[in-house]
Amino acid sequence: MITENLKTNASLEASHIELGKFYFLNDKYDEAVAEFKKAIEINPSNAEAYYNIGLIKESSNLICEAKEMYQKAVNINSEYKIAKDRLAKLIGVEIKD
């Protein structure tokens, strides 16, 4: 029963992420953020959801909020390269691999 619930939750979490991306690609930023937040409610350690909210905030010229979201994504997953790159760009530092 617990395993089944976990499977359902994981699948629901992934669905919210996919739907969020769909809205984002179609310039529906509010709807996209709502979906990413639903994914975070299911799994507060979903780095991808934070990263995507960061992209939306940056696209909306809300740079401080974007930095905060990228930072959360990186805190959860320190190997999240694309989030690290975007954060570094906004902070104004250059990361060389």
Partner 1 sequence: MKGKQFAVIGLGTFGYNVALEFANKGIQVLAIDVNTEIVDRISQFVTQALVVDATDEKAMLEAGVADCDSVVISIGESIETSILATLIVKELGVKDVIVKSASAWHSKVAAKLGASTVVYPELEMSKKFVENIVTPNILEQIKLSKDYNLAEIVAPKYVWGKTIKDSNIRNNYGINIIAIRKHVPIINDDGQSDIKEEINMVPGPSDEINQNDVLVVIGSEESLAKIKKDKE
- Residues contributing to the site for partner 1 (CB under 8 A): 21, 24-25, 27, 52, 55, 58-61, 82
**CB-wise, 7 or 81, nearer to partner 1?**
81
**CB-wise, 10 or 82, nearer to partner 1?**
82
Q: How far is the CB of 73 from partner 1 (least distance, A)?
A: 12
**CB-wise, 65 or 71, nearer to partner 1?**
65
What single-letter DSSP state applies at residue 45? T
Rounded to 10°, the helix 47-59/81-91 angle is 40
Q: How far is the CB of 5 from partner 1 (least distance, A)?
A: 28
Whether the Cβ atoms of residue 53 and residue 36 lie closer than 8 Å to each other: yes
**CB-wise, 6 or 95, nearer to partner 1?**
95
Tokens linked to 74: 């990186």
Q: How far is the CB of 76 from partner 1 (least distance, A)?
A: 15
Rounded Cα distance between 25 and 63, Å, is: 20
Rounded to 10°, the helix 63-76/47-59 angle is 160
